[in-house]
A and B are shown apart, each in its own frame.
Chain A
Amino acid sequence: MNTIPERNFLNYPKGLKSWLLTLDHKRIGVMYLVGISFAFLLGGIFAMLIRLELLHPGRDIMGPQAYNQIFTLHGAIMIFLFIIPGIPVALGNIVLPLMLGAKDVAFPRLNLTSWYIYVFGAILAIVAIFTGSVDTGWTFYTPYSTTTGGAVVLMTLAIFILGFSSIFTGLNFVVTIHKLRAPGLKWFKLPLFVWSLYATAIIQILATPILGITLVLLALERILGIGIFDPAMGGDPVLFQHFFWFYSHPAVYIMILPGMGVISELIPVFSHKRIFGYRAIAYSSFGIAFISFLVWGHHMFVSGQSPFASMIFSFLTFMVAIPSGVKVFNWTSTMYKGSISLETPMLYALSFLFLFTIGGLTGLFLGTLATDIHLTDTYFVVAHFHYVMMGGTVMAFFGALHYWWPKIWGRMYNEFWSRISTALVFLGFNVTFLTQFVLGAKGMPRRYYSYLDQYQPLHFYSTVGSWVLALGLVIMAIYLVHAIFKGKPAGDNPWGALTLEWTTTSPPPPENFAQPPVVTHGPYDFDTVKVKPTFAR
C-alpha cells in the first residue's frame, strides 16, 4: 500500500509566507499552475461568450463593441497569460530539475522573480480590462490600435512586463540544462521534454525582446505621436505587422515545442517501448526553432508586401513543416509493436496526434500562396490555429497534467471520470472547430460580430460543440482538485517510467532527492530496465 511521505515540498515548511517567499522550483511551479489555470478559466469564459454571441447573426447577448473587446481579451489572455507561459513555467518548472536530478533550477531567486513579474503583468492586464478595455484584437494592428480608445497602453505595458517573465524563465532553463545535469546524464540521455524546453528557451530569449520593443513603439506612438507607424507622418502601419510577426511567429513555436516534448515522453512510457528516432526528434526541435525565425511573412501574404517576399516566405513555411512531420512519424512508429496501455495521459497523447496532424496538414493550405489568398483572415485560419494550439499544445498540457499530477500531489485522480472528460473534450473540440474549417473555406471572415445567414447552421454546431468541450473541462477541474485531497496515494512511479523524477517520492521532498542520483540508463531503455508501476488499477 502506497503512502504519502510525511515530509514533502507541499507541507514543509508550512505557512503562507513560506510559499510566497519560496525558492523551491516545485512550489513556484505550483503557484504558476494556479496563475495559468486562472487565466485559462478567464479566457475560456470569454470564449464561451464569443460562441454564444455567434449562435445567430446579429445581436444575441452583446453589442459589437463588447464583442470586439471580448474576442481581444480571449486572444490576449489565452496567448500571453496561458499558452506562452503554459507548459514551461508550470510543469517545466516542477519537472525539469527533477528530470535532471538537480536540487533546483540554476537561479532560484530569478525563478521567483519571474513569478512575481508574471503576477504583476497579469494584474495590470486585468486592470486594463476593467478600466478601459481593449478592442484591437490580440495582434494590435496599427493604425487601428493607435487611434482606437480604451486602455491599449496599459495592456501593452502588461504584455511588455510579461515578456520579462518569459525571458527570465528561458535564461534560467538554459543555464540549468547546461550546468545541473546529474552525473552520467549526457546530452543524448536527456529526456526529450528537456530538449524541447531547451529549444523553447532559446526562442524565448531571442524573440521576446522584439515584442517588447514593438509594444514600446506602439505605446510611444499613442502617447507622443512619434509617427513611426502613422502614415500621416510618413510612418508605415505595415512595419508594425513585420515587427509583430517577427516575434509572434517564433512565439507559436514557444507554444507548441513544449507540447511536442510532452508527447515525446508520454508515447514511449505508455507504449513501454524505446522512442523511435530519438536524435531525429531532438534535432527537429532545433530545426523548427531556427526556421521559425524566418517565416513571419506568411501572415502577410495579402498585406501588400512584395510578391517576391511572399514567394520566399511561402517556401520557408513549407520547410518548417518538415521537422514537425518527422516528429509525428517518429511518434507513430514508436507505438509499432509496443505494449500500449490507454491511461488518460496516453489518451491525450493520441488526441494530440489526431488533432495536431489535422492542424499541421491544414497549414499546407495556408502556406500555399494561391489558396492562402482566399483562406487568410477567415475562420479557416481560426480553426487551423485552434487545432495546432488547443488540439496540440493544450492537449499535450492536459496529458502532462494527468501524467505528472500523481508526482506533484502524490495522489491519483479518478480514472473513470478522467476518461469521460477526455472523451467529451475530444468530441467537443472537434465539433467546435472542424465546422470552422468549412466556414472559412466558404468565406466567413474572422472577427465578425454578425454574419450572413448562409453561415448560420455551421456556427450553431460550433457553439454546441463549445458547450460539450466546456462540460468536459469542468469535469476535469472537479476530479483533479478532488484528487489533491482525496485521491488514492499513487506511489513513486505509478506509470513505470524511467526518467529521474519518478525515482524520488511523490510528492518529492523539498530537496528533491535523498541522495544525488547517478544516471545509469537512458530515459526510454524499456528493453533493458524493468520497473514495476507502483499504482495498480
Chain B
Amino acid sequence: MPPAGSTIAGSVDALFYLILYISIFFFVIVVGAALIFTLKYRRKGEAEAQSQVDKNTALEIIWTVFPIVIVVVLFILGFTVYMKMNVVPKDALEIKVTAQRWLWTFDYPGGSNSVNELVVPAGKPIKLLMSSTDVIHSFFVPDFRVKMDVLPNRYSTAWFDAPNPGEHNILCAEYCGKGHSEMMGKVRVVSEREYAEWLQKEAGPPEGMSLEELGERLYTSRRCVTCHSIDGSANVGPTFLGVFGHKVTLKDGQQAMADENYIRESILHPEAKVVAGFEPVMPTYQGLVNDREIDALIAFIKSRGDQRKQP
C-alpha cells in the first residue's frame, strides 16, 4: 500500500493486511494440498487410486460454514470502516471540486480558487463537494485511500483528514477519454498558518500587479506548469520558452505565427491549432480565466518568448 496520508488510511490498511493474511492462509491450504497430493499420489505404473471416498458430510459442512463465518466478519469490518469513510464530520471545511476534461478546479470558502492543486490545512477534516461539467470522473487520492465518482448530474461528497503536511497525488480513476491519464493534480497539505497565507497571497485578488506578474502567478496557480515548461524542455505540451513571435509548425503541417491571437485561441480552444509532435489533450480554459487573466498569460508568454534572443 502507498504511504498513509489520512486519518482513515490506517484502518483501511489494517483491513487490507488482515484480508491478505486470510487469503494467504486459504491459498496455502488449497494449493499446498493440491501440490502434496500431486507429489504423493502420482500414478505409478498401473496403480489404482488408494481410496474412492467421494463424500464426507462433516467436511462439507466445515468448509461451507467456516468460510461463511470469515466472510461475515470481513463484511462487518469492511462496513464499519466504510461508514467512517462516509460520514463527514460536522466541523469539516467544505471545498467545491469541479471536474472537467481534463482538469480539476477547487473553490475555497471566501471566493478564491485553484486549478489542479488542492491546498488544505493539516489536521482539519476537509469535505469535498464534487460535480462534473461533462462526463463521469473519479476523484482518487491513493495516499488518502479516498475515491469517489464525480458525476455530471448530482453532487457527490468525499472527505479526508490529513494530519501531516506533505504532497499527495490526485488521479482520475474513471475513464474520461484522451487526457484521462493526464488528469492529475496534487493535494498540498500545509499548516493552518500557511494555508491562510496561501489563500491571501496565491489565490487572493490580484491587486497592484503588473500583467506579467499576474501571468507568472497564473502560470503556477492555473497549473500551466504541469504541461508547459519555461526552460525549453518539451513536456506533455510545448515549452513557453522562445515561442512568442516565432512560427510554429502545426500537426497538419501548416505554420502559424505565435502571436497574441494565437495564444488566446490556444487557451480557449486548445484543439484548434495543435503543435506538431504533441497530442491534443489540453482542456479548454473557457470560463476558468477571465479576459484580464488571458491578457496576463499572454504577457507572461511574451516575456519568455524574447528570452531566446538573449545570449
Whether the Cβ atoms of B52 and A314 lie closer than 8 Å is no
- A238 to B138 alpha-carbon distance, docked (Å): 13
Interface contact B74-A373, CB-CB below 8 Å: no
User: Which of B16-24, B111-119, B199-207, B262-270 sits within the interface?
Assistant: B16-24
> Assuming the A-B contacts A143-B134, A364-B19, are A304 and B156 also in contact, with contact meaning beta carbons closer than 8 angstroms in the complex?
yes
Query: Which residues from chain B contact A277 at a C-beta distance below 8 Å?
Result: 54-55, 60
A397 at the interface (CB under 8 A from B): no
Among B2, B77, B177, B180, which residue has its beta carbon within 8 angstroms of that of A442?
B2
Question: Given A326-B63, A350-B38, A371-B15, A364 and B22 touching (CB < 8 A)?
Answer: yes
**Provided the pairs A318-B75, A357-B27 are in contact, do residues A370 and B181 lie with their beta carbons within 8 angstroms?**
no
Q: Does B193 contact A (CB under 8 A)?
A: no
Per-position contact with A for B173-187: 1 when CB-CB < 8 Å, else 0?
Answer: 111111111101000
Minimum Cβ distance to chain A for residue B103 (Å): 15
Interface residues in A256-289 (C-beta closer than 8 Å to B): 271-278, 280
* B149 in contact with A340 (CB, 8 Å): no
Please classify how large the interface on chain B is, using the bins under 10, 10 to 19, 20 to 34, 35 or more. Answer: 35 or more
Tell me whether B142 is interfacial, beta carbon within 8 Å. yes
- CB-CB under 8 A from B135, the residues of chain A are 141, 143-144, 147
> When the two chains form their complex, are residues B153 and A377 in contact, meaning their CB atoms are under 8 A apart?
no
Which one of A124-132, A401-409, A448-456 contacts B? A448-456
Assembly CA distance A328 to B67 (angstroms): 12
Contacts of B49 in A (CB 8 A): 271-273, 337-339, 526-527
Inter-chain CA distance A63–B278, complex, in Å, is: 9
Q: Are A336's CB and B42's CB within 8 A?
A: no
Q: Are A368 and B77 in contact, CB atoms less than 8 angstroms apart?
A: yes
Checking A307, A325, A441, A452 against B83 with a beta-carbon cut-off of 8 angstroms, the contacting residue is A307
CB < 8 Å neighbour of B74 from A307, A364, A524? A364
Please indicate the chain A residues that have their CB under 8 angstroms from the CB of B77 in the complex.
368, 370
- Residue A329 interfacial (CB < 8 Å): yes
Question: B279 at the A/B interface (Cβ < 8 Å)?
Answer: yes
Q: Which of B28-36, B241-249, B295-303 makes up part of the contact surface?
A: B28-36
A2 sits at the interface (CB 8 A): no
Contact residues in B for A315 (Cβ distance below 8 Å): 75
Question: In the complex, which residues of chain A have a beta carbon less than 8 angstroms from the beta carbon of B42?
Answer: 340-342
User: In the complex, are the beta carbons of B86 and A307 less than 8 A apart?
Assistant: yes
The CA-CA distance from A143 to B177 in the complex, in Å, is 12
Provided the pairs A272-B49, A310-B82, A341-B43 are in contact, do residues A373 and B145 lie with their beta carbons within 8 angstroms?
Answer: yes
- Asked if residues B148 and A302 are in contact (CB atoms below 8 Å), the reply is yes
Taken residue by residue from 54 to 71, chain A's Cβ proximity to chain B (1 for < 8 Å, 0 otherwise) reads as: 000001000111001000
A59, B281: Cα distance in complex, Å:
13
- Say yes or no: B171 contacts A443, CB within 8 Å: yes
How distant is the Cα of A332 from the Cα of B52 in the complex, in angstroms?
Answer: 14
> Please, which residues of chain A bring their CB within 8 A of the CB of B34?
332, 335, 350, 353-354
Give, as a whole number of angstroms, the nearest-CB distance from A535 to chain B: 15
- Cβ of A362 within 8 Å of any chain B Cβ, yes or no, is yes
A274 to B145, CA, bound (A): 48
CA of A318 to CA of B69 in the docked complex: distance in angstroms?
Answer: 11
Contacts A322-B67, A445-B172 known; A377 to B140 CB distance under 8 Å?
yes
Given known pairs A273-B52, A302-B149, the reply for A445 and B173 (CB within 8 Å) is yes
Shortest CB distance B187–A (Å): 13
Closest 3 CB pairs of A and B: A443-B142, A231-B153, A368-B78
Q: A-side interface residues toward B, CB under 8 Å?
A: 59, 63-65, 68, 135, 137, 141, 143-144, 147-148, 231, 235-238, 271-278, 280, 302-304, 307, 310-311, 314-315, 318-319, 321-322, 325-326, 328-329, 332-333, 335-342, 350, 353-354, 357-358, 361-362, 364-365, 367-374, 376-378, 441-443, 445-452, 524, 526-527
Would you mind naming 7 contact pairs between A and B with Cβ atoms under 8 Å apart?
Answer: A231-B152, A237-B152, A276-B53, A339-B41, A364-B23, A373-B12, A376-B147
For the complex with contacts A318-B71, A353-B34, 20 further pairs of A-B residues with Cβ separation under 8 Å are A68-B180, A143-B134, A144-B136, A231-B152, A237-B136, A237-B151, A307-B82, A310-B82, A322-B67, A325-B64, A329-B30, A335-B41, A336-B37, A339-B47, A361-B22, A369-B82, A377-B174, A443-B143, A449-B178, A452-B184
